[in-house]
Structure 1
């Protein structure tokens, strides 16, 4: 089985692929100080609870937190006796029109790789995590760039930490735009504000790409906006894991 690891700034996602489907997917807080042994003990418990055999013969990792990479490498080598593949922009295999091409995050390109494997371009992939990223794929299947803005969690934390009386709130859309109390007002601003920002940026990208695009949402917070945004048509919670799996197949030739 393939163990795919997506190391994000806030969360790390572990997925187990049996050749046909993701038999288990787990999410936990990213902590670069964790040792390979701590990760292995937690993973063993997760495998047992899910009823999945601890039988991994391949490991692929995409990481935006370089400080966490050494523990992942040691985890694979010590506990699975495998040299893991760390996916880089150069080995994803998606054509890139970006300056310089090497500056594109591998996570953005694996999302594009998975999207192209499932859908017909032109497309926009919206990944809602610590940052909200928009990735544009032309009708010819070329990654042509996108946009980045602070994620809703970052904005919520900034609002609470820079004001004396405004609390953090649950990410739930209120029943109305006009908030009738402080919590509702913050929820309205965050949820409807981000939904409008997503729709606005997607429409601008679509115009630059020449018209209609398919918009795919992913990321830990992607599901929150599926019903709020007019432009989001598809929610793919495991898009990044799928991209890591496909990148592994390209590089290591796994069937």
Structure 2
């Protein structure tokens, strides 16, 4: 079994792969204050619920956009799993992706991992949209070269800012409204958030296509991917486990390379 860990700004996603299949997935809150022992106890409780043990894990790979958490997590892997993890970014694991970017160190590990996952599953060129704390757009050309992309505030950040700065507006559920023109404050807010965000996604994708002069495959991942894709005219594929799959593909490539 291979243990994959993706540490995001808001959530950390954990997965177990066995025989090339993702068999278990967990999502926990990212907490930079947890010690190696606290991480071990939390992961052990998740494993025990699925009747797994640390000794069954043969390898570990981690991607993270939260540097302060890494020391505790890497130490936990060594002390409790008796394994040294691969770390995307630290170990410059990008194969089979080529980085065509002026400063590769600026690229978030999650964006690299998503791109690797996408090129294993779909045809290039491609645009990968990740709906996380921030929403990112990444472009990979027909030669598997990563060129960069766009970073925008995530939908939840936008909603929280609206609520915080407009004291009379209520908190609302992010959901597709029944109609564009709202007949109440809540309906108007839902329509503005949902269709505003859908229009942003489609508008950016169309501009990218015009600028690049190609018709790339458009893949969406992340927490709001399915929701936004319902109203989008440009999203073609939804791949909820893209990051975990990308981590697994990188792990497999590195193991073969080091044999």
TM over 0.5: yes
Mapped partners of 1:197, 1:232: distance in 2 = 12
Instruction: State the secondary structure of the residue aligned to 2:170.
Output: coil
Cα drift, residue 121 of structure 1: 0.8
DSSP 3-state at the match of 1:91: coil
The match for 1:14 is 14
Q: Which residue does 2:208 correspond to in 1?
A: 205
Shift of 1:172: 0.8
The one-character-per-residue Cα deviations of 1:84-138 (angstroms, maximum 9, x if unpaired) are: 1111183212112222122222211111111111111111000000000000111
Distance change (3 Å), C-alpha of 1:50 and 1:178: farther
| Contact 1:173/1:188, CA 8 A, preserved across alignment | yes
Equivalent residue, structure 2, for 1:70: 71
The equivalent residue for 1:60 is 61
Of 77-86 and 33-42, the range deviating more from structure 2: 33-42
Distance 2:30 2:7 in 1: 7
Match of 1:138 among 138, 141, 161: 141
**Partner Cα distance (1:51, 1:197) in 2:** 44
Q: Which 5+ residue runs of structure 2 have no aligned equivalent? A: none
Equivalent residue, structure 2, for 1:96: 99
What is the Cα deviation at residue 250 of structure 1?
2.4
TM-score, with length taken from structure 2? 0.93
After TM superposition, the structure 1 stretch with the greater mean CA deviation from structure 2, 91-100 or 156-165, is 91-100
Asked if the contact 1:122–1:209 (Cα under 8 Å) also holds between the matched residues in 2, the reply is: no
What is the alpha-carbon distance in structure 2 between the residues aligned to residue 159 and residue 19 of structure 1? Answer: 45
Contact 1:3 1:59 in 2 (8 A): yes
Shift of 1:53: 4.6
Partner of 1:152: 155
From 243, 250, 254, the counterpart of 1:251: 254
Q: Tell me what 1:32 maps to.
A: 32
For residues 134-171 of structure 1, the C-alpha deviation after alignment (integer angstroms, 9 at most, x for no partner) is 00111222111111100001111111111211122111
Which of residues 113, 116, 129 in structure 2 aligns to 1:113? Answer: 116
> Relative to structure 2, which stretch is displaced further, 203-212 or 79-88?
203-212
Q: Is 1:196 paired with 2:196?
A: no
Q: Alpha-carbon deviations, 1:39-71, whole Å to 9, x = none?
A: 222222222323445421211100000011112
Cα-Cα RMSD: 1.6
Equivalent runs, 1:156-195 vs 2, <5 Å: 156-195=159-198
Cα distance between partner residues in 1 of 2:206 and 2:197: 14
Worse-superposed segment, 28-37 or 130-139: 28-37
Pair 1:175–1:51, CA change in 2 (3 A) = farther
1:214 and 2:217 are equivalent in the alignment: yes
How far 1:17 sits from its partner (Å)? 0.6
Please give the alpha-carbon distance, in whole angstroms, between the structure 1 residues aligned to 2:78 and 2:31: 19
Give the match for residue 86 of structure 1.
87
Q: Which runs of 5+ in 1 are unaligned?
A: none
